């Protein structure tokens, strides 16, 4: 299953054993005559045990009934993993909502009276809902805040993460009568640890909102979302509560195109945010069809919405549950138990191929709970029926297996991004992805898999740490996608950008505003295009070439045309390009490491070498198209593999066409490591002949061969005689100074010796050491011997 639910809390394991142990102790005490009331701890069936609230600090409030119907409130401390009894109401009541302040001194609870049969009341007209404020440290007074005929939801604000006492507590009351109030509760400490409410007879309160039709609380960020209906227009609003301010209203002005009747009945509506400044509104009406189901996602941070229509698994299948939306940071999970599971990419929703759509199967039915799930802040999910608090995560292992098995290009694209978005895991996982890419490099027809992996892996590796990187660097090699997704139809519409009434942007609001500004001023939406980088790249190369020409003129060196340059291990061009796209390869080098690892230590042209050479050629083509740099050592390895795998004429064609780039390291290895067989001599001569003269002469010195000496000698003689003017020759050759009676050679060597003795500056030029007339004489004799076959 692509979704993995990890239980952070379980009523059955973290609370129930303690309560049973407490009950056993109480029953034992009652048997010893310690009082009949000692057994009133928990009713026998434990059905009343349920989670009521999860506070910002992670503490969980739960409730249960005793044998006599008394209501107990308990708290599970997520830090110490200990249970604490908060308060007991000695009445048979039904708890609607409750919250405790961060100091655990005040308890707010909303309760209704149970029916005579003991069943939970559905709040019929005339029934009373009591909203109480209780001093619990130690147990003191109980104050009635509300006594009305509608449900009240209560929530203490947690403006500080720290646990130091606050002089004032703020309590939200959200009424079913469509208004929201905030109470200011000042407390004082008396007689040591005794905490009491100041001016309990009159608590100040503020009316925050009226006539809303829907509300959602974000406990982690202390935000309250609600929808106002003004003249049949739905407007999404948000109140951000801060420690240094009462509250701040944010008006998104988002029109969901729903009237009051639709919003108040059969509604599934969720607002999700994350730290990157994204804001999504997920909406699903009641399902009326037996063949398909529809839901909408408003990507407010992107300025558009998408309405998805999913075909149900089988025609006429019965839908008993509604759609569930879960926040997974960079993704939103949408699933209908037994029918489908979708992972929507909220960072890059433009193309449907970046989202994963799966049809329901037995594994999905077994893994996902069928009971309603409540998505809390972050990635927390509460199963109210079982009393379990989960942390929802993407399942990397499943997604990796899915990569190997899927045949659809759209699913390969989506699953690859899902895996990489989970973060940089172990090297084993990275190696598996690289292996999958290598084995499927030609299996994708809609996009270049190597390009997508290079861009996506680089993007997702730096994205969590770098803000606005998606506005600067590409996240995908695909700019358009026209292929349909099986079982999914999609309608995309532009939406009005929100008008945020915020005095000062900070934190999340600053990032959201940045996203909105980008959308506002870049319409139509701009996609990253490497043509800009390519243009700058060619400009830099041109500048460098111009500088080389100037230097060459100063040194009187003329580079012959159509000669292959010899690159350093990390040549100048690579350095320039690295500067343009800095950091893209910093965390993508495992690919190159993988290539070195699978190379055999012996043998030439093995199957493994052919496979790696093919992959590296594809990598080179992919990065060249994207104008991306390659890591140092890539061209050296590529050339060595080419020598092992290609016939000579193909190898030279690859070099001449620029598919293989010669590096100094690679050429030196070839000159030193290859023996002087006829095949290797042809290879060495062919490579030396393709290098600029001065570089070729330098490389020749590394090769101990008569023909190498001949090339060096020819270059030396050409340099000495290029400005030589014939002078009257009066000297007599001293035959005793020559070892061989070969007068033309002797005469020529004497001329060279005379020029060398009169022009000592020739030896100051770098690269001309150890080459003189004597070296030329020896090389000429060896070459003549070879030609004559002596």
Q: CA angle at residue 223 from 220 to 227, to 5 degrees? A: 135
More confident residue, 701 or 609: 609
Q: Does residue 60 lie in a domain region?
A: no
| Neighbour order of strands in the sheet with 380-383 | 3-10, 388-394, 380-383, 373-375
Tens of pLDDT, residue by residue over 432-458, are 888 898 888 888 888 999 999 988 888
Question: Residue 753: phi, psi to the nearest 5?
Answer: -65, -40
pLDDT at position 346: 94
688 and 741, same structural domain?
A: no
pLDDT at position 248: 83
The residue assigned the tokens 């993007």 is 459
Domain termination site, one of 658, 674, 704: 704
More confident residue, 54 or 587: 54
pLDDT at position 683: 87
Confidence of residue 549 (pLDDT cuts 50, 70, 90): low
Mean pLDDT along residues 277-304: 87
DSSP 347: S
Tens of pLDDT, residue by residue over 363-385, are 665 667 777 788 888 789 999 88
Nearest to 544 by CA among 575, 570, 582: 575
Asked whether the beta carbons of 342 and 311 are under 8 A apart, the reply is no
Tens of pLDDT, residue by residue over 90-133, are 888 889 999 999 889 899 999 997 655 444 444 444 468 999 99
CA distance 560 to 556: 13
Q: Does residue 312 lie in a domain region?
A: no
Q: How far is CA 497 from CA 59, 90, 254, 271, 572, in A?
A: 37, 52, 7, 16, 46
Residues sharing a CB contact under 8 Å with residue 8, sequence separation 6 or more, in sequence order: 78, 380, 389, 390, 391
738 and 625, same structural domain?
A: no
693 and 593, same structural domain?
A: yes
| Neighbour order of strands in the sheet with 60-65 | 50-54, 60-65, 71-77, 82-89
* Token pair recorded at residue 18: 């303690």
Its sign, for the CA torsion 416, 418, 424, 425, is: negative
606 and 681, same structural domain?
A: yes
Range picked from 670-679, 695-704, 773-782 for highest mean pLDDT: 670-679
CA distance 112 to 127: 8
Q: What is the b/e burial string over 284-312, where b = at least 16 CB atoms within 10 angstroms of the residue's CB?
A: bbebeeeeebbbbbbbbbbbbbbebebbb
782 and 661, same structural domain?
A: no
Q: Does residue 630 lie in a domain region?
A: yes
656 and 610, same structural domain?
A: yes
For 227-244, give the DSSP string.
Answer: EEEETTEEEEEEEE--SS
The residue assigned the tokens 């398909």 is 292
| Average pLDDT score, the chain | 78
689 and 568, same structural domain?
A: yes
Asked whether the beta carbons of 522 and 514 are under 8 A apart, the reply is no
The residue assigned the tokens 């449900």 is 151
Tens of pLDDT, residue by residue over 24-72, are 887 777 666 554 444 455 555 578 899 999 999 999 999 998 878 889 9
User: Out of 91-95, 152-156, 157-161, which region has the weakest mean confidence (pLDDT)?
Assistant: 157-161
Give the side-chain half-sphere CA count within 13 A for 408. Answer: 16
pLDDT at position 767: 46
CA distance 189 to 553: 88
CA distance 613 to 411: 28
Q: Does residue 582 lie in a domain region?
A: yes
pLDDT at position 140: 75
More confident residue, 157 or 424: 157
To 10 degrees, the CA torsion angle through 603, 604, 608, 614?
Answer: 170
748 and 691, same structural domain?
A: no
Instruction: Enter the pTM of the model.
Output: 0.79
pLDDT at position 121: 42
Q: Does residue 45 lie in a domain region?
A: no
CA distance 592 to 611: 14
More confident residue, 720 or 435: 435
598 and 693, same structural domain?
A: yes
CA distance 439 to 522: 39
pLDDT at position 761: 61
Tens of pLDDT, residue by residue over 474-530, are 888 888 888 889 889 999 999 888 877 776 788 889 899 888 988 888 766 566 667
Domain assignment of residue 688, given as a range: 564-704
* Number of domains the chain is built from: 2
Mean pLDDT along residues 278-305: 87
Q: Does residue 695 lie in a domain region?
A: yes
Q: Does residue 741 lie in a domain region?
A: yes
Mean pLDDT along residues 218-234: 85
Question: Residue 564: phi, psi to the nearest 5?
Answer: -80, 125
The residue assigned the tokens 């320039």 is 576
Tens of pLDDT, residue by residue over 648-670, are 999 999 999 888 988 888 888 88
| Longest alpha-carbon distance in the chain | 141
Residue 211 has pLDDT above 80, yes or no: yes
Residue 736 has pLDDT above 60, yes or no: no
CA distance 516 to 494: 13
683 and 625, same structural domain?
A: yes
Q: Does residue 651 lie in a domain region?
A: yes
CA distance 21 to 18: 5
* Token pair recorded at residue 604: 């030439």
Domain termination site, one of 675, 704, 733: 704
More confident residue, 403 or 291: 403
Residues sharing a CB contact under 8 Å with residue 534, sequence separation 6 or more, in sequence order: 627
The residue assigned the tokens 């990032």 is 511
Asked whether the beta carbons of 635 and 607 are under 8 A apart, the reply is no
pLDDT at position 123: 41
ω into 185 cis (within 30 of 0): no
653 and 781, same structural domain?
A: no
* Token pair recorded at residue 779: 């090389």
Asked whether the beta carbons of 587 and 424 are under 8 A apart, the reply is yes
Question: Residue 135: phi, psi to the nearest 5?
Answer: -85, 120
CA distance 403 to 523: 35
670 and 727, same structural domain?
A: no
Residues sharing a CB contact under 8 Å with residue 536, sequence separation 6 or more, in sequence order: 580
pLDDT at position 571: 54
Nearest to 280 by CA among 220, 326, 346, 232: 346
Residues sharing a CB contact under 8 Å with residue 560, sequence separation 6 or more, in sequence order: 692, 693
pLDDT at position 589: 42
Kind and range of the H or E run holding 336:
strand 331-336
């Amino acid at each position: 299953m692509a979704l993995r639910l990890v239980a952070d809390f379980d009523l059955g394991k973290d609370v129930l054993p303690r309560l049973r142990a407490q009950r056993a102790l109480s029953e034992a005490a009652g048997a010893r005559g310690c009082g009949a009331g000692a057994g009133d701890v928990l009713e026998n069936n434990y059905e009343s045990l349920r989670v009521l609230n999860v506070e910002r600090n992670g503490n969980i409030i739960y409730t249960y009934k005793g044998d006599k119907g008394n209501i107990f409130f308990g708290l599970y401390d997520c830090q110490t993993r200990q249970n604490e009894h908060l308060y007991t109401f000695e009445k048979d009541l039904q708890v609607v909502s409750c919250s405790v302040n961060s100091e655990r001194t005040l308890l707010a609870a909303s309760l209704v009276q149970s029916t005579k049969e003991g069943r939970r009341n559905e709040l019929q007209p005339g029934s009373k809902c009591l909203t109480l404020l209780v001093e619990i440290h130690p147990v003191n007074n109980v104050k009635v805040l509300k006594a009305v005929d509608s449900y009240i939801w209560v929530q203490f604000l947690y403006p500080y993460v720290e646990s130091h006492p606050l002089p004032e507590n703020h309590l939200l009351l959200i009424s079913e009568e469509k208004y929201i109030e905030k109470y200011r509760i000042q407390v004082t400490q008396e007689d040591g640890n005794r905490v009491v409410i100041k001016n309990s007879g009159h608590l100040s309160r503020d009316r925050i909102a009226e006539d809303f039709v829907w509300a959602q609380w974000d406990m982690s960020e202390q935000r309250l979302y609600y929808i106002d209906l003004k003249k049949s227009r739905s407007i999404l609003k948000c109140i951000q509560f801060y420690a240094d301010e009462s509250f701040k209203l944010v008006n998104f002005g988002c029109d969901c195109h729903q009237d009051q009747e639709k919003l108040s009945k059969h509604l599934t509506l969720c607002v999700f945010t994350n730290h990157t400044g994204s804001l999504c509104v997920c909406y699903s009406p009641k399902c009326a069809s037996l063949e398909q189901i529809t839901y909408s996602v408003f990507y407010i941070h992107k300025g558009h919405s998408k309405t998805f229509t999913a075909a149900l698994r089988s025609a006429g299948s019965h839908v008993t549950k509604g759609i569930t939306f879960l926040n997974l940071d960079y993704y939103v999970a949408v699933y209908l138990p037994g029918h489908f599971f979708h992972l929507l990419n909220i960072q890059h929703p433009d193309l449907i191929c970046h989202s994963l759509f799966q049809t329901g199967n037995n594994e999905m039915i077994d893994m996902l709970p069928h009971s309603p799930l409540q998505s809390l802040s972050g990635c927390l999910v509460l199963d109210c029926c079982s009393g379990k608090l989960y942390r929802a995560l993407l399942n990397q292992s499943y997604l990796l297996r899915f990569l190997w098995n899927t045949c659809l290009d759209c699913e390969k694209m989506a699953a690859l991004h899902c895996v990489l978005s989970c973060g940089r895991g172990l090297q084993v996982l990275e190696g598996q992805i690289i292996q999958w890419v290598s084995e499927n490099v030609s299996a994708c027809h809609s996009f270049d898999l190597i390009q997508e992996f290079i861009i996506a892996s680089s993007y997702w590796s730096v994205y969590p740490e770098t803000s606005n990187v998606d506005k600067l660097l590409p996240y995908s090699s695909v700019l358009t996608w026209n292929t349909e997704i099986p079982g999914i139809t999609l309608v995309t519409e532009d939406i009005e950008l929100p008008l945020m009434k915020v005095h000062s942007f900070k934190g999340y609001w600053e990032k959201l505003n940045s996203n909105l500004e980008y959308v506002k001023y870049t319409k139509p939406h701009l996609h990253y295009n490497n043509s800009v980088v390519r243009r700058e790249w060619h400009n830099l190369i041109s500048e460098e070439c111009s500088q080389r020409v100037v230097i060459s003129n100063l040194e009187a060196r003329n580079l012959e045309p159509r000669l292959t340059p010899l690159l350093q291990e990390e040549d100048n061009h690579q350095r320039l390009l690295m500067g343009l796209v800095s950091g893209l390869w910093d965390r993508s080098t495992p690919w190159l490491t993988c290539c070195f690892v699978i190379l055999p230590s012996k043998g030439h042209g093995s199957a493994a070498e052919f496979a790696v050479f093919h992959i590296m050629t594809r990598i080179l083509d992919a990065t060249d198209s994207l104008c991306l740099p390659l890591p140092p050592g890539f061209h050296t390895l590529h050339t060595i593999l080419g020598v092992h795998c290609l016939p000579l004429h193909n190898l030279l064609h690859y070099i001449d066409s620029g598919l293989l780039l010669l590096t100094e390291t690679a050429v030196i290895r070839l000159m030193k490591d290859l023996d002087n067989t006829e095949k290797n001599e042809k290879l060495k001569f062919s490579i030396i002949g393709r290098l600029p003269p001065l570089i070729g002469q330098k490389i020749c010195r590394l090769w101990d061969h008569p023909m190498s000496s001949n090339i060096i000698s020819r270059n030396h003689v050409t340099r000495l005689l290029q400005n030589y003017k014939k002078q009257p020759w009066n000297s007599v050759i001293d035959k005793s100074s020559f070892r061989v009676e070969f007068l033309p050679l002797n005469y020529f060597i004497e001329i060279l010796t005379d020029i060398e003795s009169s022009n000592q500056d020739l030896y100051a030029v770098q690269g001309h050491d150890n080459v003189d007339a004597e070296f030329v004489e020896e090389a000429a004799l060896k070459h003549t011997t070879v030609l004559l076959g002596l």
